[in-house]
């Protein structure tokens, strides 16, 4: 049985996957903290505190800001990985139709991914 060939030195999909992994690590840590903060807010509200008092006393960044930042980060890094992975699959001979099936999107979406500029 032959050994798989190593990844090429210039592999944008691998690089973007590494970026995604780092973003996921950071986001998981932030979301663990966000969950604790959400539970604290629930407790405060159930204890009868008003929303104004809760939000004005909440440490910064606010819970809603933390969530927005995490979602924005994952959207950007995840989108870059999706584009790079689509390009890598296409470069290896997969059709846009096959990539669309694998990704669960339309062929038109794959076409747009392949046409989008590299970041």
Rounded mean pLDDT of 66-73?
Answer: 97
The residue that leads in pLDDT, 119 or 36, is 36
Question: Residue 9, preceding bond cis, omega within 30 degrees?
Answer: no
Cβ atoms 102, 69 nearer than 8 A: no
Q: What is the pLDDT of residues 20-58, one digit of tens each?
A: 999 999 999 999 999 999 999 999 999 999 999 999 999
Of the candidates 102, 101, 99, the one whose C-alpha atom is nearest the C-alpha of residue 113 is 99
Is residue 110's pLDDT more than 80? yes
- CA angle 6-12-79, nearest 5°? 130
Share of the chain above pLDDT 70, in %: 92
Confidence band for 116, pLDDT divided at 50, 70 and 90 = confident
In angstroms, rounded to a whole number, what is the distance separating the alpha carbons of residues 71 and 45?
25
Model-level pTM greater than 0.95? Answer: no
Cβ atoms 73, 27 nearer than 8 A: yes
């Amino acid at each position: 049985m032959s050994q798989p060939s190593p990844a090429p030195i210039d592999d944008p999909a691998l690089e973007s996957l590494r970026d995604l992994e780092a973003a996921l690590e950071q986001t998981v840590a932030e979301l663990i903290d966000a969950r604790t903060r959400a539970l604290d807010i629930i407790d405060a509200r159930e204890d009868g505190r008003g929303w104004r008092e809760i939000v004005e006393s909440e440490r910064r960044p606010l819970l809603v800001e933390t969530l927005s930042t995490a979602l924005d980060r994952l959207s950007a890094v995840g989108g870059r990985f999706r584009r790079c992975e689509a390009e890598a699959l296409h470069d290896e001979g997969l059709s846009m139709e096959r990539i669309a099936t694998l990704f669960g999107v339309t062929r038109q979406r794959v076409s747009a991914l392949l046409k989008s500029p590299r970041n």
